[in-house]
Every structure is written in structure tokens, then in C-alpha cells.
Structure 1
Amino acid sequence: MLLTERKALPKGLGWLAEIKFDGYRALASTGPVPALRTKNGADCTAWFPELTPTLASLPSDCILDGEICVLDEFGRADFDRVHTRALRRGWYDGADSVVYCVFDLLAERGRDVRQVPIETRKSALERLILDANRKNAAGGLLYVQAIADQAEWLYAHVLALKLEGVVCKRSGSAYQAGIRSSDWVKVKRPGSIPASRFQRFARGG
């Protein structure tokens, strides 16, 4: 499910707001042999091997959606550092450890829950993540909390902490795979994406 970008926060009630983490969007499947795939479908499991033990500790046949990030000492996502990790395609001496910031649940123990309201999906996801982190000392999974009808409050903190932005999700909405939906709205902090990033990708970096 893709986001619609806007310059202003949605008006009115009925929205959940989350911090937008700046990383590599990925879907994770759980089980004895977990897997991670990028938004474009590339298998990136071996790129971030430190996530495998915790994903393996989750119940089988779950599918998670989130962002793979490198977080600084203040909890801010650093895209350049996670991009460096991804380019190396595996662990190496001196590598930054990543965190999988998980914000949605598409399947729970083999049951497709994409049509379940987002609040119910996130409650189930929170239980899964908390249980996995208790069982596995390696951790590596971060549940992305949402708050109801407080987007302006959250965005003010995003500006103060210089985070990437916020994502607002319509209460009660379903997960629409492959669709850029107005039910998911992202509002970035001005200046959060430097021009140098686009120049680097244009050069193939």
C-alpha cells in the first residue's frame, strides 16, 4: 500500500498519526526461514541478517510491513547509513545495525487480515512485536505506535526533532495492496530530503 503525499495534514477527526521513518520499505514473512523483500520485490533477507533471529521467533505465516532503518542516538532514522548497508548486501565489520520499524500487519498466522480495520491490525501487530522482543534478546523490531486525532501535536514534535515527517491513516481503513491510497497520507518536514540524495540516485549510487 502506497502513500499519497500532501503539504498539509488532513483536517478533522478520524485519523491515526505515526512517525514516518526514513529507510528501506520492506515486507517480512515469518516462520523458521523468514524472508524480507523490498518494495520492488528484491529479496533483501541476506542484506540484514541481524533481523533473522527475531523474525524467526514470531509465529509462522505472518506478513509484516515496515521500514528497515538505521537509527541514531536520538532515535532518528538516517537514510544514508541504511543505504550504505543495503549497497554492501550483507554484514561486514563496522556495519551499522538496523532496526525493522513495523507499522502494519497483512497476515496473522496464515489469515489474511488486510480488510480488518487498521486499529485491529495494529493491536494484533503490537502484541506480536512485544512478544518477539521478549523472546529474543537480539531485538531489532520496533512497533510504530499510532495516536488518534493528534496529528498536529505529533507533527510539531517531528519539526522540533527534525524527523522525516508523519503519516496519517484513516481510522477503520483496510490495507489496499499496490494502491496509492488517500487513506494513507504522508506530510514531510520541509527540507527533510536533501537534494543530494536525488543526485546520487540519478548517478546510479
Structure 2
Amino acid sequence: MVTLPRIAPMLATPGSLPPEAVEDRWAFEVKYDGQRAMVYLPGDGTVSLRARSGADITAAYPELTGLGSALDSPAILDGEIVALDSEGRSDFERLQSRMGLAGSPTKAARMAQVVPAHLILFDAVHLNHSLVRLPYTQRRALLEDLDLDGAHWSTPAAVVGHGAQALEMTRTAGLEGVLAKRLTSVYEPGVRSRAWIKIRHVRTADVIVGGWVPGRGRLAGLPGALLVGEWHEGALRYVGSVGTGWSDTERTTLAGLLQVAAIDECPFDEAPAVAGARWVLPRLVGEVRYVTRTRAGRLRHPSWHRLRPDLAPDGTT
């Protein structure tokens, strides 16, 4: 039996598109919103899936076990497990119902019928021997030569150059963004590298601050997170917790404003289940950046951008 080496996934750095003058030195792939997975194929018909943490998640995705018979020689591939919506877009909220089921094979098998998973393959890091020192172009060519396209796995195309067009295409299609990968880059296990750059479509929203949670340690007495909402049919609906994006000065300014606006009752139509929450009059308006929303309207990956004193709490200027 072949024992394959454990390889940690290479990670991308958030950033912007490479300059147009050098974009022909980069490949662009669609960025999918799912669960990263290193795929171990010993060549004996079996498959093992490891999460970014190294945890064995094979049992959570029984529909992917068929990939083990697709290759008869040892391989380690890098990919992303996604759940696709009716338009073929990765939907992280759908995938969440599949995650964490590695210890419940019966439930995982049942959920596989309801929310099937799909494995997006985008790199080959071992084929009989290590490929990590090979440039991206050679690894990518070797991956594509495997012709791994099935009902539950595929190898989507990568395009060299044309970064702005690729990014706009993903925006129009409602996808998360693109990954730019330097053509000459080697595979750096466990490293967050500038050779891979993730460019997300960032959305903004004007929100009403309805509460906050105090920080800890040096942030004691200052906001560790803001609880924000939006008006909907005359009621303030909670849309999420924002805990990043401030400078120390902005955090101190917000702390003063929150203290002045303190009230005893929750201003949201339904109180969020947030431990230690403190409530404020819903009169502070802020602008936040976020990646996407859940079907319930909650903001995913929100970060604070700025106060909007030019806007009234009801959204008027």
C-alpha cells in the first residue's frame, strides 16, 4: 500500500488584479466559495479528503469516493468542495448543511441526496512523485491531462491574461471573484503566498447600529463588534455582526457614540442571540463592506468602512 506524504494547502493573499502590462504572466481561475480539500488518491481505488486544518472529512462526502477509481497511480490533488445552486454557482450556505458530518456517515449519505457536493480540482501536487517544485503551468497541464471530469468532480478552465474580463465575467455571473496565479509559481505548502492573489467582488451596504459587544483585554470598554440591521417594513431587522475594519481612533470614536445612545431594550424586531450584547438607539448609520448575503439576508464577511453622518437612520440623506 502506498503511503502518500501529507501536504498542507497553499493559500492565496487578498489583493487586486495584477497590472495589465504583466497580466500575461498570470493565470486566472474562478474563485469558488466552499471548503478547501486536499485529495489523496493512493491508486488502490480509495480516496481520502483532508480539510485545510488537516482533519479527515472523507466520510462527510460519500459521493466523492468514486474519484478513487479514476486514477490507478498515486496522486495528491488540490481543490474546493462546493454545493451548487440552480444556476451552477457555489453556495456556501447550502454547503454548510454538509460540513461537519464526517462523524455521522448515515446522515452524510442522506444529505448527499439532498445537497450533492461537487469537487472543483485546480492543482496537482503529487503524481507518482512530488510536483511542488514545478511551475504552475506544468502542474496545471498535468492536472488537465488527467481528464478528471465526472458527475461530482471537474477541472474548470483557467485563462492566461485577460484578468479584467475574467473578473467582470464573475461579477456578472454572481460569482465570488477570481484567483490570479503567477505562471512561474511553485507550490508552497501551508504558505499564504503573493504568487496566488484572490480578488473578491466587494459589496457595500448602509446599516443601522442597534447594539454592540464589548471587546476584551486592551479593548475592554471599547466595541469588539457592532450589531447592525436594516429597516424592513418599518422594523429594524438584524443583518449581522461587524468586528473588523476600524482603526484605534475610529473604535474610540464609536465607543463614545455608543455610550451616549445606550438603551435597555433591543431595537431589532427579533433580538439576535449574541452573548453580552448591549443595545443602543438605532440612530448611527454606517457603511460596511461584505462579500455576499445568506438567504436570510445576513451579511457574510462584513467589515466596517465608515460612519455615514450624511444619512438619516431611515436611509434618507
Same fold? TM cut 0.5: yes
Q: 1:44 aligns with which of 57, 74, 77?
A: 57
The 3-state SS of whatever aligns with 2:96 is helix
CA contact (8 A) 1:102 1:142 kept: yes
The one of the two structures with greater contact order (alpha-carbon pairs below 8 A, sep at least 6) is 1
AA paired with 2:40? S
CA contact (8 A) 2:37 2:51 kept: yes
AA paired with 1:36? L
Partner of 1:202: none
Residue deviations 1:78-106 (CA, integer Å, cap 9, x gap): 00111111134422155211110010000
Q: 2:39 aligns with which of 25, 28, 52?
A: 28
Higher strand share: 2
> Does residue 17 of the first structure (1) align with residue 28 of the second (2)?
yes
Deviation at 1:181, TM superposition (A): 0.5
Q: TM-score, length-normalised on structure 2?
A: 0.57
CA contact (8 A) 1:27 1:36 kept: yes
Q: C-alpha distance in 2, partners of 1:177/1:59?
A: 25
CA contact (8 A) 1:159 1:189 kept: yes
CA contact (8 A) 2:31 2:176 kept: yes
Deviation at 1:120, TM superposition (A): 1.2
> Does residue 2 of the first structure (1) align with residue 11 of the second (2)?
yes
Identity %: 32
Partner of 1:54: 67
Partner of 2:135: 117
Deviation at 1:56, TM superposition (A): 2.7
AA paired with 1:85? R
> Does residue 87 of the first structure (1) align with residue 100 of the second (2)?
yes
AA paired with 1:171? L
Deviation at 1:74, TM superposition (A): 2.0
Give the RMSD, CA atoms, in angstroms. 1.7
AA paired with 1:97? P
CA contact (8 A) 1:85 1:95 kept: no
Q: C-alpha distance in 2, partners of 1:127/1:139?
A: 18
AA paired with 2:163? A
AA paired with 2:77? L
Residue deviations 1:111-160 (CA, integer Å, cap 9, x gap): 101111111111111121x2x44xxxx63111032111111111011111
> Does residue 98 of the first structure (1) align with residue 98 of the second (2)?
no
- The higher radius of gyration belongs to 2
AA paired with 2:12? L
Higher helix share: 1
Unaligned runs of 5+ in 2: 1-9, 103-107, 204-290, 303-317
Equivalent pairs, count: 191
Partner of 1:163: 175
CA contact (8 A) 2:47 2:67 kept: no
